[in-house]
Amino acid sequence: MTLWILGDQLNHAAVEQLAPRRVLLVEAYELGRTPPMHPQKLVLFFSAMRHFAEELRAGGREVIYLQAETLAEALEQFFQAYPGETLAQMQPADFGFAERAKALVEGRGGLYRLLPNRLWLLQPEEFDRWAGSRQTYRLEYFYRFMRQRTGYLMQKGQPVGGAWNYDAENRKAPPPGYRPPAPLRFAPDALTQGAIETVKARFQGHFGALEGFEWPVTRQQALEALEDFVQKRLAAFGPYQDALVEQSWSLHHSLLSPALNLGLLHPAEVVERALAEYEKGGVPLASIEGFVRQVMGWREYIYHVYRREMPGLLRANQLAAQAPLPPLFWGAPTRMRCLSTVITRVRARGYAHHIERLMVLANFALLYGVEPQALNAWFVAAFVDSADWVMVPNVLGMGVFASPILSSKPYAASGKYIARMGNHCQHCAFKVSETLGEQACPFNSLYWDFMARHRALLEGNPRLAVLYRSWDRRQPQEQRAIRHRAESLRQGIAQGEV
Ligand SMILES: Cc1cc2nc3c(=O)[nH]c(=O)nc-3n(C[C@H](O)[C@H](O)[C@H](O)COP(=O)(O)OP(=O)(O)OC[C@H]3O[C@@H](n4cnc5c(N)ncnc54)[C@H](O)[C@@H]3O)c2cc1C
Ligand code: SF4
């Protein structure tokens, strides 16, 4: 049996456990073209796969490493050398890949065998047992189930500290001029340089910078990045988790999503290492709880919801949003400081932290009315940690409320939220305190217009009742002016003039 390892399954422990006769890795360039991926994501995958193959070889394993334009060409080569071989594969995370792989293998006379994927904390049947016949999912219930199941941050069946979450303590903007510890970054070695050359030679015109690649590409580097995070940034992870600041792209975030999504780190070891640091003292409960919730709660929940809800979730569009993606997403200049700062960051590293993704990028697309599938394609193309399984629920479910299965109301916010969480507005050409007039923050009128447009769907939600009461207190003339301003902004944004 040959174990065919995908680029997001680069886990030594899994290979040891499965003990295959040989391992197959395939660099298929077509996978980086549709959608056209961020150059640093391509480098990340090629470099991490090449390092992984070298490490397996150094450990005495037989490795076949194929480079081809298409998967079909690579498998053709493989089966010429090993006719009739069984190719086993851990369950691919992305929808439809296993069926495609099976057809490609069987079409060339091989046998295809699916194995459980142990890179998740929960196996599908365990999540399905928890979910039962639910048609909507709420993270909070799943997260409590995971806490009880693992016993992490639990004492005698109750959450440590008496509460399941400490969000109220965690929504802080840092003091003016605050500089968090700089994260550990990794200069490209010879194998990474080789991957950079491959990307230069084979991929042109993709959104994002190729230069400046510094992501961890080996297990050793991923472990160092984990250590750096737990020792230097975890303690203040909680309070500044939602902050939106000009002076730091990384703040106290772990930056571990690329390593986790490649399989270089297992979510269990990430959670356990963070808990060990908490046990030593010095990490507040609000920070460790916030971090554990991201990895053990959100990450698993997102994957399993995706697994259960595809392909319908990808087609969802309950708000009937139809607008094409405005040019500012591809780097066209904009005077909206929050957006230009975050998009510049995405272009530079393929990374923005969670609140930048949710409350700046997706929030703007939601208010503006971007078609959810177009936004999803942009996110997949623009981020180093992107994968179908994680983008679709985050973008369509959380980001633009295309489906009700993940939340009961949209994550929509005016400029006030962005101003409260940081300092972009202090440097912006627009005035966040204004809704009307040429200088008024575009998020404000777009927000009210969005709420007015979708009133029929949203006003039944008790959490939005205050908002609609506040809208109704405005004079009809003012309401018309706000909606008119939103419409003219929409036209200006589409032309790249805002
Ligand atoms: C619109 C949108 C798009 C996103 N796209 C991606 C994506 O392509 N790839 C991706 O890995 N994450 C994605 N996320 C989730 C989250 O924003 C990133 O995982 C996180 O910002 C990665 O940075 P970090 O490692 O510094 O995370 P931290 O803030 O340090 O969080 C720790 C870890 O928790 C996990 N996590 C936290 N929130 C989520 C979540 N909502 N879904 C899944 N995992 C989560 C990640 O593994 C992350 O590394 C998206 C979120 C939104 C709102
Ligand atoms: S004023 Fe509005 S557009 Fe400018 S940074 Fe603040 S929220 Fe963004």
pLDDT at 197: 97
Amino acid present at 439 = Q
User: 267-280 and 285-292 helices cross at what angle (nearest 10)?
Assistant: 170
Pair (28, 152) in one structural domain: no
For ligand 1, atom 37, which residue shows the shortest CA distance?
294
Q: List, for residues 295-304, the tens digit of each pLDDT value.
A: 999 999 999 9
Tracing tokens 């790249």 back to the chain, one arrives at: 496
Task: Give the mean pLDDT of 451-467.
Answer: 95
Ligand number nearest to the C-alpha of 41: 1
pLDDT at 292: 97
Amino acid present at 56 = L
Q: Is 143 near ligand 1, meaning CB less than 6 Å away?
A: no
Q: List, for residues 249-291, the tens digit of each pLDDT value.
A: 999 999 999 999 999 999 999 999 999 999 999 999 999 999 9
Whether residue 26 is predicted with pLDDT greater than 80 in this model: the reply is: yes
What does 356-378 look like in DSSP terms, one character per residue? IIIIIIIHHHHHHTB-HHHHHHH
Pair (394, 479) in one structural domain: yes
Pair (289, 332) in one structural domain: no
**Please, which pLDDT band fits residue 170 given cuts at 50, 70 and 90?**
confident
Q: Is 417 near ligand 2, meaning CB less than 6 Å away?
A: no
Q: Is 261 near ligand 1, meaning CB less than 6 Å away?
A: yes
pLDDT at 261: 98
Separation of alpha carbons 462 and 326, rounded Å: 33
pLDDT at 22: 96
Q: Is 443 near ligand 2, meaning CB less than 6 Å away?
A: yes
Pair (268, 370) in one structural domain: no
Q: How far is the CA of 245 from the centre of ligand 2 (A)?
A: 12
Query: What is the average pLDDT value for the chain, to the nearest integer?
Result: 96
Pair (161, 59) in one structural domain: no
The CATH number that applies at residue 358 is 1.10.579.10
Q: How far is the CA of 372 from the centre of ligand 1 (A)?
A: 18
200: in domain: no
The CATH number that applies at residue 25 is 3.40.50.620
Pair (39, 134) in one structural domain: no
201: in domain: no
**Please, which pLDDT band fits residue 137 given cuts at 50, 70 and 90?**
confident
Ligand number nearest to the C-alpha of 360: 2
pLDDT at 291: 97
For ligand 1, atom 44, which residue shows the shortest CA distance?
299
The CATH number that applies at residue 299 is 1.25.40.80
For ligand 2, atom 7, which residue shows the shortest CA distance?
415
User: 471 Cβ partners below 8 Å, 6+ apart?
Assistant: 448, 451, 452, 479
Q: What are phi and psi of 440, to 5 degrees?
A: -70, 145
Separation of alpha carbons 477 and 439, rounded Å: 20
209: in domain: no
- If one counts every other C-beta atom within 10 angstroms of the C-beta of residue 158, the result is 12
Q: List, for residues 384-393, the tens digit of each pLDDT value.
A: 999 999 999 9
Q: How far is the CA of 337 from the centre of ligand 2 (A)?
A: 6
Whether residue 135 is predicted with pLDDT greater than 80 in this model: the reply is: no
Pair (146, 289) in one structural domain: yes
Q: What percent of the chain has pLDDT over 90?
A: 95
Whether residue 136 is predicted with pLDDT greater than 90 in this model: the reply is: no
208: in domain: no
Task: Give the mean pLDDT of 127-144.
Answer: 89
pLDDT at 167: 85
pLDDT at 303: 97
Task: Give the mean pLDDT of 308-316.
Answer: 95
368: in domain: yes
pLDDT at 134: 80
Q: How far is the CA of 288 from the centre of ligand 2 (A)?
A: 31
Question: What is the DSSP secondary structure assignment for residue 296, as one 8-state letter?
Answer: I
Chosen domain end from 243, 278, 308: 308
Q: Is 399 near ligand 1, meaning CB less than 6 Å away?
A: yes
Q: How many domains does the chain have?
A: 3
Ligand number nearest to the C-alpha of 414: 2
Chosen domain end from 92, 115, 138: 115
Pair (234, 99) in one structural domain: no
202: in domain: no
Mutation probe of ligand 2 site: the residue of 342, 360, 441 with most atoms within 8 A of C-beta: 441
Whether residue 372 is predicted with pLDDT greater than 80 in this model: the reply is: yes
Partners of 63 in the beta sheet? 23
pLDDT at 230: 98
Partners of 22 in the beta sheet? 2, 62
Pair (252, 395) in one structural domain: no
Pair (341, 482) in one structural domain: yes
Q: Which residues of 219-233 are buried (b: 16+ CB within 10 A; e: fewer)?
A: bebbbebbebbbeeb
Q: List, for residues 399-452, the tens digit of each pLDDT value.
A: 999 999 999 999 999 999 999 999 999 999 999 999 999 999 999 999 999 999
Pair (134, 105) in one structural domain: no
198: in domain: no
pLDDT at 34: 86
Chosen domain end from 274, 308, 342: 308
Question: What is the DSSP secondary structure assignment for residue 62, as one 8-state letter?
Answer: E
pLDDT at 168: 82
Q: List, for residues 183-193, the tens digit of each pLDDT value.
A: 999 999 999 99
Q: Is 256 near ligand 1, meaning CB less than 6 Å away?
A: yes
Q: Is 353 near ligand 1, meaning CB less than 6 Å away?
A: yes
Q: List, for residues 54-101, the tens digit of each pLDDT value.
A: 999 999 999 999 999 999 999 999 999 999 999 999 999 999 999 999
pTM of the model: 0.96
314: in domain: no
Q: Domain limits at 62?
A: 2-115
Ligand number nearest to the C-alpha of 226: 1
Separation of alpha carbons 475 and 479, rounded Å: 6
For ligand 2, atom 8, which residue shows the shortest CA distance?
338
Tracing tokens 């456990």 back to the chain, one arrives at: 17
For ligand 1, atom 20, which residue shows the shortest CA distance?
354
Pair (338, 475) in one structural domain: yes
Q: Which H or E element spans position 67?
A: strand 62-68
Of 366, 453, 367, 456, which Cα lies nearest the Cα of 402?
366
